[in-house]
Structure 1
Amino acid sequence: MMRRWLLKVLTAALVTGAVTAGWFWPVPGNFVYYLSWRLTTRAPVATGNINFNGAQIHYVTYGAGKPVLLLHGGLSNRLSWFSQVPWLVKAGRKVILVDTRGHGESTLGHTGLSYHLFAQDVIQVLDKLDIAQTDIIGWSDGGIIALLLGRDTPQRVGKIVAISANFDPSGLTSDAGAGLQVEAAAPSGGVWQWLQGWWSGAGEHYPTLASKIRHLWRTEPRFTQADLQAIHAPVLVIVGERDMITLEHSAQLAQWLADGELAVIKGAGHSAPVTHAAAVDGLVVAFLQ
């Protein structure tokens, strides 16, 4: 079983790497280390699913100790945290990974998608695992979900790291906003769509998932200043210097939070946890400690 999984992952990684080699550098070393860690770690591992609101939500946990929940971005999956999981486990944390509804090994269900629904899914997983409170590291959509959890269920949240997250669609750069409109009108198909379907976990259902997620990006979230000031958990806002979220928007987010601080990663775009993992990990270590 493990060999088949490893072969599948390695093959897909090689194909994706060949197509997007420029984007992946210097990722290969981190990914190979993650695969090696997966094959050799003796950290406790648990996997499971919860059924909620018409969908099956998949989760994986590694290690033991104080919990930290990792929430990935839209049209991605839990594997996107490969540069963070090994060191968090070695640091004595119980790492909880959740595949967002419709992503990875979680099913989409038949309801409309919203960040509020995603947050409800996460609470169901925490309840299943009997976790009363956890720190959260959220990337992009995952950061938005983390902020919602901080506002609506403050007793369940310790510290929050929100990476490349916006509190309103106006936070997207003009290029990113225009890109959403172009993608909505673009024809589907081809190798790139196959790669996106594989990476998101949606497979042949990727066009449906992508349409729903891009609609979400165009219309949500809608945090007000009062909403953000109601989040009392300490929040580290991380944004890439060349992110699709503007620096001004990220600064406003940090300022409006009751206990927020901002960190800008030089040279990074929207994929900083992968492309600038060392910088992100250093900030996370300092903040969570």
Structure 2
Amino acid sequence: MNAASKADTQAMKPSNSGYAPANGIEVYYEVYGSGEPIVLLHGAYYTIEMNWGQLIPELAKTRKVIALELQGHGHTPFSERKLSRATLASDVEKVMDYLKIESADIVGYSFGGQVAYQFAIQSPSRLKKLVIISSVHKTEGWVPEVSSVFKIMKPEFFANSPLQTAYDAVAPDKTKWTKFLEQMIASAGEPFDLGDDNIAKLTAPVLIISGDNDGMDKVELAKTYKLLGGGISADMAAMPKSQLAIMPNQSHVSLMKQTKEILMYLDKFL
């Protein structure tokens, strides 16, 4: 990040921020810009700033951007409430209710992408278009090495990391860091599957953005894209409404830093 773009991000203040009641917890949100609404869902352990700091100033030029922090993340307090994708997706809907947003485009990265897929399945009437960045709808979507790491993760792996620094900067209770990690790690270690049938039934257009070496199994990714109506010969049939972008020379973490390319894909798709 160059100094100028960092200054832009830090200078950008939300026009509205606060907490929305959602299924027994309070979910923190920030609103930027005006226009058609777009909701951003961050990756595991991330804050809004860490995940979207570079994208928000650009998106907010033409859109009303709603970024929120999921259960236990960032400003949103830790809760003993069971962590489930269905509940988190319902939280997103409750935030939209609170902000009086009927429907929106949803963009989810990594863990936020799983929540975004779940939102698309359970709240289709609230969704316009869906963007999934480096994420899967089932455990098998990751290469085996990624799933293996999920099984051996421990809170101490995160000690003094940039993730802890970002958490400490905004969390309402910093002493909950380890409990938050334990909750997230337990969730990551459980296999999940949102259902191929459910993905195939999605009516909203979907853009999937993946890095060529981001830990996603590309054979499984091709199957997912096929479920969405893609992977055809568009010279012989209509071009599908869903799209797939694989960015070269990118890992899971580096992909999210390709602000210019991601914006280009979003602009064309949305």
Helix, strand or coil at the partner of 1:275: coil
Residue from 52, 61, 65 that aligns with 1:95: 65
Matches within 5 A, 1:43-122: 45-79=15-49, 80-90=51-61, 92-122=62-92
**Does residue 1:36 correspond to 2:11, yes or no?**
no
C-alpha root-mean-square deviation of aligned residues, in Å?
2.1
Is the helix fraction higher in 1 or 2?
1
Post-superposition offset of 1:272:
4.4
* Separation (CA, whole Å) in 1 of partners of 2:257 and 2:14: 28
Q: 2:232 is matched with which residue?
A: none
Map of 1:229 onto structure 2? 200
Bigger shift: 76-85 or 251-260? Answer: 251-260
Aligned to 2:212: 241
% identity of equivalent residues: 24
Distance in 2, matches of 1:272 and 1:281, equals: 15
Q: Name the stretch that deviates more: 151-160 or 209-218.
A: 209-218
Q: In the alignment, is the contact (CA less than 8 A) between 1:238 and 1:265 conserved in 2?
A: yes
In the TM superposition, what is the alpha-carbon distance from 1:37 to its structure 2 partner? 4.6
Structure 1 position 152 matched with structure 2 position 122: yes
Deviation at 1:190, TM superposition (A): 4.3
Counterpart CA distance in 2 for 1:241 and 1:180 is: 20
Other-structure match for 1:168: 138
Distance 1:237-1:180 versus aligned 2 partners, 3 A rule: same
Residues 219-249 of structure 1, C-alpha deviations (whole Å, 9 max, x = no match): 2541222110121100011111111222222
Distance 1:32 1:106, change over 3 A: farther
Contact residue 54 and residue 109 of structure 1 kept, 8 A: no
Contact 2:21 2:95 in 1 (8 A): no
Q: What is residue 262 of structure 1 aligned with on the other side?
A: 244
Can you list the C-alpha shifts for 1:115-167, whole angstroms capped at 9, x where unaligned? 11111111111001100010111101111111111111111101111001111
Q: Quick one: which of 210, 217, 221 aligns to 2:181?
A: 210
CA contact (8 A) 2:225 2:244 kept: yes
Superposed CA deviations along residues 67-94 of structure 1, whole A, max 9, x for unmatched, are 111110111111110121111111x100
TM-score, structure 2 as length reference: 0.86
In the alignment, what sits opposite 1:284? 266
Whichever residue aligns with residue 283 of structure 1, its letter is: Y
Helix, strand or coil at the partner of 2:67: strand
* Contact map agreement 2:78 2:176 (CA 8 A) in 1: no
Contact 1:69/1:97, CA 8 A, preserved across alignment: yes
1:122-137 map, 5 Å: 122-137=92-107
Residue segments in structure 2 that go unaligned for 5+ positions in a row: 230-240
Relative to structure 1, is the Cα distance of residues 198 and 66 closer, same or farther in structure 2, using a 3 angstrom cutoff?
A: same
Per the TM alignment, residue 189 of structure 1 is displaced from its structure 2 partner at its CA by 7.3
Aligned length: 254
Question: 2: distance between equivalents of 1:283 and 1:189?
Answer: 32
What SS is found at the alignment partner of 1:107? Answer: coil
Task: Provide the rounded CA distance (Å) in 2 between the counterparts of 1:276 and 1:36.
Answer: 17
* Counterpart-to-counterpart distance in 1, 2:6 and 2:159: 29
Secondary structure at the counterpart of residue 162 of structure 1: strand
1:275 to 237, 242, 257: 257
Amino acid at match of 1:227: N
Q: Tell me the residue number matched to 2:221.
A: 250
**Against the structure 1 CA distance between its residues 44 and 71, is the aligned structure 2 distance closer, same or farther, given a 3 Å change threshold?**
closer
Between the aligned partners of 2:76 and 2:225, the Cα distance in structure 1 is: 31
- For residues 106 and 255 of structure 1, do their structure 2 counterparts lie closer, same or farther at Cα, with a shift above 3 Å needed? same
Contact 1:118-1:145 at 8 Å conserved across structures: yes
2:153 is the alignment partner of 1:183: yes
1:283 CA drift (Å): 1.0
Q: 1:199 aligns with which of 161, 166, 171?
A: 166
Q: Secondary structure at the match of 1:121?
A: helix
Shift of the 190–78 alpha-carbon distance from structure 1 to 2, 3 Å rule, reads closer
TM-score by length of 1: 0.81
Structure 1 residue 255: Cα displacement: 1.4
